[in-house]
Structure 1
Amino acid sequence: MTEQMQSFKGAHAIVLGGGIAGLATAGTLTRHFAEVTLIERDRYPDRADVRQHTPHGAHVHILLAGGLVTLSRLIPELASWLDEMGRDEADLTHHTRVAYEGRWLPRARSGVPIRPCTRAEVEQLLLRNVRRHASIRVLDGSTVQSLVGDGRITGVKFTREGVSDVLSADLVVDAMGRGTPSRRWLEAAGLSAVEELTVDAGVVYASAWFEPPKGIDDDWVALATLPAIPREPHMGVAIRFGPDRMLCSAIGYGSPRPPRTIDEMAHRMEALCVPHLARLVRASKATSDVVVYANTQNRWRRWGRLPRFPDGLVIIGDAVCSLNPRYGQGMTVASLGAERLDRELDAHFARHGNLTGFSHRFQRSLEAVLAVPWQIALMEDRSWVSVLSGAAPSPLSKLVLAGSQRVLQTAFSDIDTYIRFMRLAHLLDAPTRMLAPRTLARIARGGHRAGEPEAPSIGLA
């Protein structure tokens, strides 16, 4: 065995699914395995575009600041690649403008970096990273049929161009997303039924591309309104990608009938708490049809809580925990999962010298990564479920909702509270940062009653 082979933890790893989680994971695994095979059912397009099995990619996505920082650790060249694409760095609380209950939250420099980019663009950059590694083989246009192994997972059976084949591996990573069949496969093989938590607030997206009007004299990158429980179940988002491209989404809770035309989208925007997004859509030139997406429920399969889990397999990304995209956490959580896999492989191998027992250890460790994003998503979604069903919210839900509303009200006039809140929402800081005595005192006072923040300009009279 060569010295180079001795530095690896195994000869071969297979990643099932080539979305954000799968691509980020495949690149990471080159540090640990001599060869990596990525199996993806779609054919990758030559340029950033929405794939057949990623319909949510047609809608507004946000690479949270926490995700940008994490991916930049995994791929140091990412910043320069984004520069090449013209996705310049922006400031989270200066270039993103948010309205709540008819008022715009303040504009301030936080020093927190963001990059406006579509999900397809992030995927294309991750694919660029994968393809520069000679040790990674990409088998797109392939369908996974089953896992292989008895007790321990030793590989996969798949079909490509009508031909079935079996690949063996030291580790198989399931990154096949919300629809993964792993639960069915594992339970059929005798594994205990996994606990599955589901919260569905009936969020529906309707999105379209526009050419914004000329002469916008404001440097905002994104405009958004927040829903307000229980009165306002709708929100809108507009993100600019340079001077000539803008993606807009109308988003609603409670499974509303979505707008299907540009005029219907503008009409839906007119019901928002501020008029700016409706005026912007009316003044812009539509460059696409309206597309709709409604598979937005929160679902967490608690693989880490099982008494046993088969060696040779780990499950990651949306295949474990899929979150309501309204909170923009999906790409970031996928990145955090890939980074945790990287760290846990090093830690486990340093202690044991092999991969025995690693799979169960990783699934338990991943639970800690998912806990905060899950609670952020459910903080509102549980309340919406209660409101929309007519049921009374629990005392805990009432307390959490009152606290979050108090934070938002304080944020209108207290920049420090606003920045701390946004850092939490962008998965940069733990929730405990909001419990600092100084911050709690400001929230208790409700801010310092400053004047109203200035509304963003959209270049229209």
Structure 2
Amino acid sequence: MEKREHAVVIGAGIAGLAAAAALAGHFERVTVLERDALPADPAFRPGVPQSRHLHSLMGAGQRALDELLPGFTDRLYEAGAVPLRTPYDHLWLSPAGWCHRFAPSHTVPSATRELFEHVVRNSVAEIGGVSLRDRTETVGLAGDAERVTGVRVRGRDDDRAEVISAGLVVDASGRRSGGRRWLRELGLGEPEAERVDSRPGYGSRLYAMPDDFADEWRIISIQPGEGQPLRGGALVPVEGGRWLVSLYGYLDDHPPVDEAGFLEFARSLRHPVLYDVVRDAVPAGPVHGFRHMANERYRYEELPAWPEGLLLVGDAVCAVNPVYAQGMSMAAMTAVLLRRLLGEGAGCRATQKEIAAGNERAWQVATGADLAYLGDTGDDAARDAGEYMRRLMELALVDAEVNRTFFDVMMMLTEPDALSSPELAARVAQGPARPPAGRAR
């Protein structure tokens, strides 16, 4: 298929960069526009306010980025990312109890969000025909209700306005996307919005890993459950010989951002192991809080009309609670889908529908969990499903084969239907041969 001339991507986060990699095979030129100044090294920037908190790249997301950017995983490890073997390296207290230490079933990289984005950005910048333009704010779309022909931008340094023409515009500008306003300006109406907010909040801090640290685990995860239903936390190794500790709470029960309050919150978790590790550790930075974590999506695919030349991806369409660590993987998987659909010659309306369908699984996982905190157990079918998942979790903690299937689904490598197969359902009905492991080390 002959390449088209020019595409524009709004936003240089993971979603925008992955989309640019997908577009590069179909357009002679791809321009990525970013409102922030893009740092030369891994660093925080205002457009990614959640970046200081724990991020995970699921197996399917890692696979997608390696497909879009060959060698990505190797580059990430070369930059300092730490391999985590699931569930072998995990000291995991789930809502149903401690997980047995099974042999590794998956290995994924652990790093700060800043390093993930840095490696992706540098990889994308090396693709022929792709250029990144920072400190440039997109203020509107060019074109009409039938076809978008480019974007209107303004330089943040000189306030200079211009129109950049493009055969395709991809809005990947996140939760702050102007997409709804821009569509209204074109006369296309307002998409239906959905929001599920369990009012969660993060508090995170980096610590120096002690030089003499040696233990059988690499990651600690303490989830809410019996005795402490609203609070959880995790400790993971990241680049630079550091631990990243993220604490979280629901229903406005948020971790404080002062040192004493942060440690006291850690001490209040269901088990003291995380607190015992960090209470004497040397901080490598301040505590950072983050509160804007509601699940939000906009049903653009249901609008009566849709212009050619425009797509929305990532958090601009569907943003889920980051506690469930699906965002980066969703973005990468959407980009792989986008590349395939462009190759098939799909129109923008059909592609937007496919993007929405691809987000559905992550939306159901995140909102299903959050609705439980809001006391919304749904109808009898939903309650039965919840009870089934509770029993399945108990089995996954002590049965290696079920644990493998569970993590295949959590890593987004296998469809959720695998958890309700007839064979697995029969094993769940029988129950574990012994109660969940009482692991605490």
Backbone CA RMSD of aligned residues:
1.9
Structure 1 residue 114 and structure 2 residue 99: aligned? no
Partner of 1:260: 257
Deviation at 1:257, TM superposition (A): 4.2
Secondary structure in structure 1 of the residue aligned to 2:88: helix
Structure 2 distance, partners of 1:346, 1:451, is 48
CA-to-aligned-CA distance 1:79-122 (integer Å, 9 cap, x gap): 22023113243322112331024832122224322100111111
**Aligned AA for 1:204?**
G
Write out aligned runs for 1:39-188 (5 A): 39-101=33-95, 103-151=97-145, 152-160=147-155, 161=157, 162-188=159-185
Partner of 2:22: 28
Deviation at 1:401, TM superposition (A): 2.4
Deviation at 1:392, TM superposition (A): 6.7
**Aligned AA for 1:416?**
E
Write out aligned runs for 1:369-384 (5 A): 369-384=358-373
- Range that drifts further, 320-329 or 83-92: 83-92
Secondary structure in structure 1 of the residue aligned to 2:184: helix
Deviation at 1:45, TM superposition (A): 0.8
CA-to-aligned-CA distance 1:282-333 (integer Å, 9 cap, x gap): 0211121111001100011111222321110000000000000000000000
CA-to-aligned-CA distance 1:329-348 (integer Å, 9 cap, x gap): 00000101111100000112
Partner of 1:200: 197
Deviation at 1:189, TM superposition (A): 2.0
- What are structure 1's unaligned runs of at least 5 residues? 1-5, 350-357, 457-461
Alpha carbons of structure 1 residues 104 and 287: separation in structure 2 relative to 1, 3 Å: same
Partner of 2:280: 283
Deviation at 1:368, TM superposition (A): 2.0
Aligned residues: 438
Structure 2 distance, partners of 1:292, 1:397, is 33
Structure 1 distance, partners of 2:54, 2:288, is 11
**Aligned AA for 1:449?**
R
Deviation at 1:138, TM superposition (A): 1.2
Alpha carbons of structure 1 residues 299 and 242: separation in structure 2 relative to 1, 3 Å: closer
**Aligned AA for 1:228?**
G
Deviation at 1:445, TM superposition (A): 2.0
TM-score by length of 1: 0.91
Partner of 2:235: 238
Partner of 2:345: 348
Secondary structure in structure 2 of the residue aligned to 1:115: strand
Please tell me whether the aligned partners of residues 29 and 342 of structure 1 are also in contact (alpha carbons under 8 angstroms): yes
Structure 1 residue 19 and structure 2 residue 13: aligned? yes
- Range that drifts further, 326-335 or 272-281: 272-281
CA-to-aligned-CA distance 1:115-138 (integer Å, 9 cap, x gap): 001111111111111211231121
Structure 1 distance, partners of 2:377, 2:94, is 24
Secondary structure in structure 2 of the residue aligned to 1:429: coil
Please tell me whether the aligned partners of residues 100 and 273 of structure 1 are also in contact (alpha carbons under 8 angstroms): no
Which among 384, 389, 394 is matched to residue 399 of structure 1?
A: 384
Partner of 2:425: 440
Secondary structure in structure 2 of the residue aligned to 1:269: helix
Structure 2 distance, partners of 1:287, 1:65, is 29
Structure 2 distance, partners of 1:241, 1:401, is 34
Give identity over the alignment, percent.
29
Structure 2 distance, partners of 1:102, 1:409, is 6
Structure 1 distance, partners of 2:181, 2:270, is 44
Structure 2 distance, partners of 1:242, 1:51, is 18
Alpha carbons of structure 1 residues 242 and 22: separation in structure 2 relative to 1, 3 Å: closer
Alpha carbons of structure 1 residues 392 and 222: separation in structure 2 relative to 1, 3 Å: closer
Secondary structure in structure 2 of the residue aligned to 1:283: coil
Partner of 2:2: 7
**Aligned AA for 2:298?**
R
Partner of 2:399: 414
**Aligned AA for 1:324?**
N
Please tell me whether the aligned partners of residues 194 and 301 of structure 1 are also in contact (alpha carbons under 8 angstroms): yes
Alpha carbons of structure 1 residues 206 and 141: separation in structure 2 relative to 1, 3 Å: same
**Aligned AA for 2:102?**
A
Please tell me whether the aligned partners of residues 17 and 124 of structure 2 are also in contact (alpha carbons under 8 angstroms): yes
Please tell me whether the aligned partners of residues 207 and 291 of structure 1 are also in contact (alpha carbons under 8 angstroms): yes
Alpha carbons of structure 1 residues 257 and 447: separation in structure 2 relative to 1, 3 Å: closer
Structure 2 distance, partners of 1:130, 1:453, is 46
Write out aligned runs for 1:212-361 (5 A): 212-228=209-225, 232-241=229-238, 244-348=241-345, 358-361=347-350
Structure 2 distance, partners of 1:212, 1:296, is 28
Please tell me whether the aligned partners of residues 383 and 401 of structure 1 are also in contact (alpha carbons under 8 angstroms): no
Alpha carbons of structure 1 residues 451 and 185: separation in structure 2 relative to 1, 3 Å: closer
Structure 1 distance, partners of 2:311, 2:252, is 33
Alpha carbons of structure 1 residues 228 and 452: separation in structure 2 relative to 1, 3 Å: closer
Deviation at 1:440, TM superposition (A): 1.3
Partner of 1:459: none
**Aligned AA for 2:350?**
R
Please tell me whether the aligned partners of residues 326 and 362 of structure 2 are also in contact (alpha carbons under 8 angstroms): yes
